[in-house]
Amino acid sequence: MKVEHLSGFDFGAAELDPSIFFETAASRLASGGRALAYFALPEGEAHRLVMAVGFDREGRIEVYSTQAYGPFRALTPSFPQLHLFEREIFEQAGLKPEGHPWLKPIRFNTPGAVPGVADYFTVHGSQVHEVAVGPVHAGVIEPGHFRFQCHGERVFHLEIMLGYQHRGLEKKFIGGPDGRSLHYAETLAGDTTIGHGWAYCGAVEALSGVNVPPRAQILRGIMLELERLANHTGDLGALAGDVAYLPAASFCGRLRGDFLNMTALVCGSRFGRNMLRPGGVNFDLDAALIHELKLRLENTFRDVQSAVSLLWETGSVADRFEDTGVVSKEAAEGLGLVGPVARASGVGLDTRRNFSSGPYEGFTLGVSGSGDVYSRAYVRWLEIQKSAELIAGWLDALPAGPVEAECGCLKADSAAVSLVEGWRGQICHFALTGPGGKFRHYKIVDPSFHNWQGLALALRNGEISDFPLCNKSFNLSYCGRDL
Amino acid sequence: MIKALMARWKQGYRTMEFPSAGLMLPPRGLGLPKLKPGRLEKAAAACPYGALTAGEKPGLDMGRCIFCGACANAAPEAVEFTREYKLCASGRGALVITDEDFRRAESLGAGLRRLFGRSFKLRQVSAGGCAACEADCNVLQTIGWDLGRFGVQFAASPRHADGLLVTGPVTKNMELALRKTYAAMSSPKVVIACGACAISGGPYAGHEECAGIPPEIPVDLYIPGCPPHPLTILDGILRLIGRVE
């Protein structure tokens, strides 16, 4: 069933017979569709499988559902992009996808599960060795367990086992919206507060049928692009640090903070907490603040330009970035990668363009690359320039009017799909309401959910010493994936 | 090379003075809360985390507060958030703001201060939060803040660390790793709980997936906030080792 992005739809109309469900899903995924979400919805004693498919080129979304009582047909063998979704369904609902190659736990949240204890890929041979890292890492970063199967320095395979950050978020949305729901969304991944917060607000607004005033839409756009600027700038600095090019690393580390401080100037929080609310935003800009923001944006962007251009002009940086950690376009499409990482491999997906809405109507930037670390870095630089241009334009032409609209009760027995292009890529929130207009289920798909497997592939046939560099070029979220 | 030098010259000297007079959170930032004479019932009802207690002995528990400002919006006559960033406390109870003066964190005893006052290495363990606390710890290592000038550094191994800085609500999936990290550190060692999650569970308080910092890992410094501003974290750490008064 075709559904509109960011508008409520009658969930009952998405029902299909089981055989037709799998046929439809397979044919749609084979003809340019990409799974936005695939999950099991509890329904009395049984479950209902729900899949949302996005057609990026047409900017179209379809949703199908079918009842499931037990084992069902795995689609992963034909469509690897579903591999983690099907493992998740097995872990959460106990429904077995028959034919899935390896149903390993993904969050270790079932009775008796011990985090990190599972079967791993192994390579055998007299000179093969294994390197295990984590969950606690050397830096100030989130926990995860990585295992490298190596021959000398050469990595045959990297296996990434996560779940340490699992704090039971999704089910806490059920019965909401309440006073905590928005905070859950804001802390799904702390560095993506605006991205996830906006996706949540979009879902609530779709279900209550409220129209967000134009001024609030633009203010949200400003905050989302500031978030992108901060993180992309930080990533470029971190990449520089990992190839021991300290000037750009030092400059970008400071400049990332300047973007965070601009966010704090608007809403008090460096991460954009408290900025959004369903129906609009909590903070407005007056002439003095607009002036201050423009000034800071101009100065900071100039410094970013000077810091980042060093990367492209330095031979030792290019030497480490080029041809390292290549992910082909076929692999990126096959795994359903999203965000700058996918664009760097030549996948033409940007939610701001393909599913444009609000302030992004008419968004045109298209970027591409050859799938290596260099491309993933350069795509970020192109996006930094675009974000700065967008914010400057919006600050010059902020529409007058209110910054919030009254958001009433949610429609009962309804559903909505909300997509936002966070700085890591496409965020998908799929909200369903029950008879009383309260959340009956809330599915969150962080871009990292799709992209972790991309990092594993990037390491194939690379060297262990390339891992930090590849890892930074993806910079994925553990907490957004673990929920 | 010449371009790198030119860029260095253009970027300038960027390390902030700390501490310095007049340093405050941004104008819209929410810092040290203040209870006003108005009654707290309405504000308490607006808090989704039970951080406010109304009645005879009113209080606002900064350990549970995620600084969303819902209470001050609902009852501006009862609660106000100032722009004061010095929020850290040595005891869990001291985080509760009442009508009495807030007792800031105290430094370690003279013996520990002699050991750690000029060189203090921290092992950070991220245990189930949203990674915003981690981001604001990392930012202290940038040139803007230059944590190293105070003799404080994050160490890569617990074996090299004097202190453990915990972020996140300590998920059950991270509990063992946290215990092992603590056990791997040599004594004497100190523990810092950074952020609402580590102190009380924060936004995830009451989740069955979260265990909290186990009682066998005694906390010496509480840094409230969600996430705490880097100013708050830095102030807390330096207060602990007796580098600021």
In a domain, A198, yes or no: yes
Question: Could you list the residue range(s) of the whole structural domain that residue A416 is in?
Answer: 189-424
Of the candidates A143, A190, A314, the beta carbon closest to that of B130 is on A190
Residues A207 and A71 in one domain: no
* Strand-pair category, B59-61 with B96-97: antiparallel
User: For residue A197, what is the domain's CATH number?
Assistant: 1.10.645.10
Q: For residue A444, which residues of chain B lie inside 8 Å, CB to CB?
A: none
Shortest CA distance from A253: residue in chain B: B142
* A284 reaches B (C-beta below 8 A): no
Nearest neighbour of A135 by CB, restricted to B27, B124, B177: B177
Cβ pairs bridging A and B (under 8 Å): 170
Contact A271 B143 (CB under 8 A): no
A167:B132 CB<8 A: no
Question: Is B80 exposed, middle or buried (CB count within 10 Å of its CB: 0-12, 13-18, 19+)?
Answer: middle
With tokens 């966010």, the residue in question is: A263
> What integer is the mean pLDDT of B64-81?
95
A477 in contact with chain B, both atoms CB, cutoff 8 A: yes
> Among A69, A98, A127, which residue terminates a domain?
A98
Residues of chain A contacting B174 with CB distance shorter than 8 Å: 115, 135, 143, 164-165
Q: What's the confidence (pLDDT) of residue B82?
A: 95
Reported as type and span, the H/E element at residue A182 is helix A181-186
Partner-chain contact B174 A135, CB within 8 Å: yes
Q: What is residue A318's DSSP assignment?
A: H
Among all chains, which residue has been given the structure tokens 């760097």? A344
Residues 6+ apart with CB under 8 A from B146: B15
Q: Are residue A246 and residue A388 in the same domain, yes or no?
A: yes
Final residue of a structural domain among A75, A98, A121: A98
Compute the distance between CA of residue A176 and CA of residue B80 in angstroms, rounded to an integer.
Answer: 28
Q: Tokens 């021991």 — which residue?
A: A244
Q: Which of A137, A140, A261 to mutate to test the interface with B (most CBs of B within 10 A)?
A: A140
Residue A49 domain-assigned (yes or no): yes
| Below-70 pLDDT ranges, chain A | none
Instruction: Please enumerate in sequence order all residues whose Cβ is within 8 A of that of A260, keeping only pairs 6 or more positions apart, or say none.
Output: A230, A270, A271, B139
Query: d(Cα A478, Cα B207) in Å, to the nearest integer?
Result: 18
Amino acid residing at A471 = N
Cβ contacts of A163 on chain B, cutoff 8 Å: 173
User: Measured between CB atoms, does A24 come within 8 Å of chain B?
Assistant: no
Interface of A with B in 165-224 (CB under 8 A): 165-169, 172, 178-180, 183-184, 187-191, 193
Quick check: A197 and A186 in contact, CB under 8 A? yes
Report if residue A358 sits inside a domain.
Answer: yes
Does some domain include residue A397? yes
Q: Two tokens at A74?
A: 């795995």
- Residue A173 CA to residue A53 CA, distance in Å, equals 23
Give chain B's mean pLDDT. 94
Token look-up 């002995």 returns B57
Residue A437 DSSP symbol:
S
DSSP state letters, A221-248: HHHHHHHHHHHHHHHHHHHHHHTT-HHH
CA distance A228 to chain B (A): 15
The answer to whether position A160 is within a domain reads no
C-alpha to C-alpha distance for A316 and A236, rounded to whole angstroms: 15
pLDDT at B232: 97
Measured between alpha carbons, how far is B196 from B62 in angstroms, rounded to an integer? 8
Look-up of token digits 């990190």: A116
Cβ-contact B165, B152 below 8 angstroms: no
The C-alpha of B28 sits at a distance from chain A's nearest C-alpha, in angstroms, of 4
Nearest residue on chain A to B226, judged by CA atoms?
A273
Among residues B28, B43, B31, the alpha carbon closest in space to that of B78 is found at: B43
State the CATH number of the domain containing residue A72: 3.30.460.80
Classified as helix, coil or strand, A123 is coil
Whether residues A333 and A230 share a domain: the answer is: yes
Q: Which residue has the tokens 């606390």?
A: B133
Which residues of chain A are within 8 Å of residue B179 when distances are taken between CB atoms?
none
Residue A151 lies in a domain: no
| Judgement on whether residues A411 and A301 belong to the same structural domain of the protein | yes
CA distances from B208 to A178, B106, B171, B203 (A): 19, 33, 9, 13
d(C-alpha A430, C-alpha A206), whole Å: 11
Closest in B130, B143, B154 to A253, CB measured? B143
pLDDT at B99: 83
Whether residue A149 is contained in a domain is answered as: no
Decide: B120 and B57 in contact? Cβ < 8 Å.
Answer: no
Please give the pLDDT value at position B222. 97
Closest Cβ opposite residue B135 in set A108, A191, A267: A191
pLDDT of residue B38 exceeding 80, the answer is no
Please say whether the beta carbons of A427 and A454 come within 8 A.
no
ipTM greater than 0.85: yes
Please list, in sequence order, all residues whose beta carbon lies within 8 angstroms of the beta carbon of residue B170, skipping any fewer than 6 positions away.
B127, B128, B178, B198, B210, B211, B212, B213, B214
Contact assignment for B129 to A271 by CB distance below 8 Å: no
Rounded Cα gap, residues A447 and A431, in angstroms: 17
At B166-207, the pLDDT tens digits run 999 999 999 999 999 999 999 999 999 999 999 999 999 999
Q: Of A212, A177, A186, which Cα lies nearest the Cα of A411? A: A177
Which spans in A268-404 are helix H? Answer: 287-313, 315-321, 329-335, 339-344, 351-354, 373-396
For the B110-240 domain, the top CATH level (class) is alpha beta
Alpha-carbon Rg for chain A in angstroms: 22
Contact of B167 with B123, CB cutoff 8 Å = no
Chain A residues in contact with B168 (beta carbon < 8 A) = 165
Judge whether A205 lies within some domain.
Answer: yes
Q: Shortest Cα distance from A184 to chain B (angstroms)?
A: 7
- Nearest chain B CA: its distance from A295 CA (Å): 16
- Structural tokens at position B213: 């910092």
Contacts 24+ apart (CB under 8 A), A24-29: A24/A64, A25/A51, A25/A53, A25/A64, A25/A75, A26/A75, A26/A78, A26/A79, A28/A53, A28/A55, A28/A62, A29/A53, A29/A75, A29/A78, A29/A79, A29/A81, A29/A82
The pLDDT, as a whole number, for residue A4 is 84
- Chosen for mutation from A114, A165, A299 (greatest number of chain B CBs closer than 10 Å) is A165
Residue A193's Cβ-count burial label (10 Å; 0-12, 13-18, 19+) is buried
| A167 → closest Cβ in B7, B49, B128 | B128
* Adjacent-strand bridge partners of B221: B192
From the CB of residue A363, how many other CB atoms can be counted at a distance below 10 Å? Answer: 18
Length of chain A: 483
Structural tokens at position B11: 């970027």
Q: Which amino acid is at B34?
A: K
- Is A140–B227 a contact, with Cβ atoms under 8 angstroms apart? no
For residues B112-127, average pLDDT: 94
Of A250, A261, A264, the CB nearest to B143: A250
Q: What DSSP assignment string belongs to chain B?
A: -HHHHHHHHHH---PPPSS-TT----TT---SEEE-SS-SHHHHHH-TT--EE-SSS-EEETTT-----HHHHH-TTTEEE-S-----BSSSGGGEE-SSPP-PPPPPPHHHHHHHSS-EEEEEEE-SS-SHHHHHHHGGGSTTT-GGGGTEEE-SSGGG-SEEEEES--BHHHHHHHHHHHHHSPSS-EEEEESHHHHH-GGGTT-TTB--S-TTS--SEEE-SSSPPHHHHHHHHHHHTTS--
Domain count, chain A: 2
